């Protein structure tokens, strides 16, 4: 009988501790004050990761653009993230509007490979601007000179060159 009571207390303690951890995680993810660009990026990511709430994710990044004094890299990262969210909402027109704002930066900078860069190509292609999609594809593939991972974009060839 003593083991049953002890086991129950242990189980209750585990549940209480789990609830505390969950409460703390939710508080940190959604209710802490947003002060830095990193805070905004994390909150935006949390909205998408936990709730698939692309509109809230976009809203958070737009607030970052409005409320923070961002350097060029941060501003471009925010615009790119918004474009990605629109891309996955299949609102390719809005996605391209945001991607066009960062394309000059991506084109001239030594940005590291990120698989989401393919969204720029695909959004333009899905809007019917196949030539622009191909030009962007070739420009990104040239970046293999400093980051061989850009070769991973080759999977798009069968789509954009058909």
Domain count, the chain: 2
* 21 or 55, which is more confident: 55
Residues 15, 77, single domain; the answer is no
Residues 116, 74, single domain; the answer is yes
Q: What's residue 141's pLDDT?
A: 97
Helical packing angle, 130-141 and 118-126, nearest 10°: 170
Whether the CB-CB separation of 48 and 85 falls below 8 Å is answered with: yes
For 56-67, b/e burial (b = at least 16 CB within 10 A) is bbbbbbeebeee
Residues 58, 88, single domain; the answer is yes
Q: What's residue 3's pLDDT?
A: 64
Residues 87, 68, single domain; the answer is yes
Residue-range definition of the domain harbouring residue 26: 1-32
Q: How many Å apart are CA 124 and CA 126, to the nearest integer?
A: 5
Output DSSP code: residue 114.
Answer: -
pLDDT of 88-118, one tens digit each? 999 999 999 999 999 999 999 999 999 999 9
Residues 87, 124, single domain; the answer is yes
Residues 147, 87, single domain; the answer is yes
Is pLDDT above 50 for 1? no
Residues 41, 119, single domain; the answer is yes
Q: What's residue 145's pLDDT?
A: 96
Residues 75, 46, single domain; the answer is yes
Is pLDDT above 70 for 22? yes
Residues 43, 111, single domain; the answer is yes
The predicted model gives 54-59 an average pLDDT of 97
Where residue 127 sits, what CATH number does that domain have? 1.25.40.10
Is pLDDT above 90 for 29? no
Which residues fall within 8 angstroms of residue 87, CB to CB, at 6 or more apart? 95, 119, 122, 123
């Amino acid at each position: 009988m003593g083991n049953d009571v002890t086991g129950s207390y242990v189980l209750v303690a585990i549940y209480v501790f789990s609830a505390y951890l969950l409460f703390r995680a939710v508080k940190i993810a959604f209710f802490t004050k947003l002060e830095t660009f990193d805070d905004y990026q994390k909150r935006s990511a949390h909205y998408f990761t936990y709730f698939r709430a692309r509109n809230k994710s976009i809203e958070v990044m737009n607030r970052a653009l409005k409320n923070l004094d961002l350097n060029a890299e941060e501003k471009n990262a925010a615009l790119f993230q918004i474009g990605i969210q629109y891309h996955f909402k299949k609102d390719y027109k809005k996605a391209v509007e945001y991607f066009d704002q960062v394309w000059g930066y991506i084109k001239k900078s030594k940005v590291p490979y990120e698989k989401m860069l393919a969204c720029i190509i695909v959004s333009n292609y899905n809007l019917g601007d196949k030539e622009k999609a191909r030009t962007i594809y070739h420009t990104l593939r040239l970046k293999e000179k400093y980051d061989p991972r850009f070769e991973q974009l080759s999977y798009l060839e069968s789509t954009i060159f058909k």
